[in-house]
């Protein structure tokens, strides 16, 4: 059997430990369960099948089952360490029958047409460069009448990023392919989505990030440094400093997205 090695993960075990120390067990993005609840506000997931794209270490996928009553949630991610962590978390919470985790390389989603009632995603789509192909795939795997609901890190415009934004993305060192809310909405409409809406979360995260920065430099520093090493925490303190500038300028634009796949 020929085994192809995975690319070096961006969210390796150290990154998982660091981000979970900051954002909570199973959370690799900010806001905890409360922000997830806001992404799905007004939707009923009771008895529905849900796909969570870029599920990371699984805390959100499990929240959609435990708190929102999804009949079944499938967490999908391109990286192995996060999927392994998510599977262990589901087993530990006795939810392996209602939550499954799938790892596959970037590209077409490894699911049949019309498989899910709801496609959810939290702060993962910024990693996907081709937004038109991404939404064509999301549309394909949704059932007619199905809903797409997501949070995602965006940039306020599609022009040349400012020097501050370039410095921030370089500090992250992750494969960010940021696009504007308008560009996302265009890709969704092109794919066939109706009732497309966007909700700016910059004013919220701008303040939350300031608190994260203060915790990282202060009360959290010693415990997180013991878990991942001081150099790793120091690097992230510099990243947060760079991020705060583009949050305050409004160029870094965390945004919620919604759309519906028409029935006919």
Ligand X SMILES: C[S@@+](CC[C@H](N)C(=O)[O-])C[C@H]1O[C@@H](n2cnc3c(N)ncnc32)[C@H](O)[C@@H]1O
Q: Which residues bind ligand X (CB under 6 A)?
A: 11, 27-29, 53-56, 60, 77-79, 82, 106, 122-124, 127-128
The minimum distance between CB 236 and ligand X, in angstroms, equals 13
Q: For the stretch 90-120, what's the b/e string if a residue is b when 16 or more beta carbons lie within 10 angstroms of its beta carbon?
A: beebebeebbbbebeeeeebebeeebbbbbb
Q: How far apart are CA 40 and CA 59, in angstroms?
A: 15
Q: Which is nearer to ligand X, 8 or 97 (CB)?
A: 8
The minimum distance between CB 131 and ligand X, in angstroms, equals 11
Q: Which is nearer to ligand X, 23 or 193 (CB)?
A: 23
Q: How far is CA 145 from CA 13, 24, 68, 132, 192, in A?
A: 38, 33, 19, 20, 12
The minimum distance between CB 56 and ligand X, in angstroms, equals 3
The minimum distance between CB 29 and ligand X, in angstroms, equals 3
Q: Which is nearer to ligand X, 27 or 135 (CB)?
A: 27
Q: Which is nearer to ligand X, 55 or 198 (CB)?
A: 55
The minimum distance between CB 1 and ligand X, in angstroms, equals 25
Q: Which is nearer to ligand X, 14 or 144 (CB)?
A: 14
Q: At what angle do helices 202-217 and 230-248 cross, to 10 degrees?
A: 150
The minimum distance between CB 112 and ligand X, in angstroms, equals 18
Q: Which is nearer to ligand X, 122 or 160 (CB)?
A: 122
The minimum distance between CB 186 and ligand X, in angstroms, equals 19
DSSP 39-93: HTTT---TT-EEEEET-TTSHHHHHHHHTT--SEEEEEES-HHHHHHHHHHHHHT
Count of C-beta atoms within a 10 Å radius of residue 162: 16
Alpha carbon dihedral 1, 9, 35, 249, in 10-degree steps, equals -150
The minimum distance between CB 52 and ligand X, in angstroms, equals 7
Question: Phi and psi for 51 in degrees, rounded to 5?
Answer: -110, 130
Alpha-helical regions (H) of the chain: 13-23, 32-39, 59-66, 80-92, 131-141, 163-172, 181-191, 202-217, 221-228, 230-248
Residue 156 is classified by DSSP as: S
Which residue is nearest to ligand X, using beta carbons? 56
Q: Which is nearer to ligand X, 122 or 252 (CB)?
A: 122
Q: Which is nearer to ligand X, 123 or 251 (CB)?
A: 123
């Amino acid at each position: 059997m020929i085994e192809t090695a995975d690319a070096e993960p961006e969210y390796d075990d150290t990154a998982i430990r660091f981000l979970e120390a900051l954002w909570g067990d199973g959370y690799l993005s900010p806001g905890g369960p409360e922000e997830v609840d806001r992404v799905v506000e007004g939707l009923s997931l009771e008895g529905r099948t849900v796909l969570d794209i870029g599920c990371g270490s699984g805390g959100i996928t499990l929240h959609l089952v435990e708190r929102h009553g999804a009949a079944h949630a499938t967490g999908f991610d391109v990286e192995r360490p996060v999927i392994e962590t998510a599977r262990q978390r589901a087993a530990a919470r006795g939810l392996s029958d209602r939550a499954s985790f799938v790892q596959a390389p970037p590209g077409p989603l490894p699911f049949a047409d019309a498989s899910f009632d709801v496609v959810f995603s939290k702060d993962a789509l910024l990693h996907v460069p081709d937004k038109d192909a991404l939404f064509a795939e999301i549309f394909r795997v949704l059932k007619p009448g199905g809903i797409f609901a997501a949070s995602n890190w965006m940039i306020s415009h599609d022009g040349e990023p400012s020097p501050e934004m370039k410095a921030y993305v370089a500090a992250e060192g992750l494969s960010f392919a940021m696009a504007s809310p308008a560009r996302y909405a265009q890709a969704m409409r092109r794919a066939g989505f109706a009732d497309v809406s966007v909700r700016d979360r910059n004013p919220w995260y701008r303040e939350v990030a300031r608190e994260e920065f203060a915790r990282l430099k202060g009360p959290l520093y010693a415990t997180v440094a013991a878990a991942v090493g001081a150099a790793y925490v120091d690097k992230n303190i510099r990243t947060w400093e760079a991020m705060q500038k583009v949050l305050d300028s409004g160029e870094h634009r965390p945004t919620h997205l919604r759309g519906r796949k028409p029935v006919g």
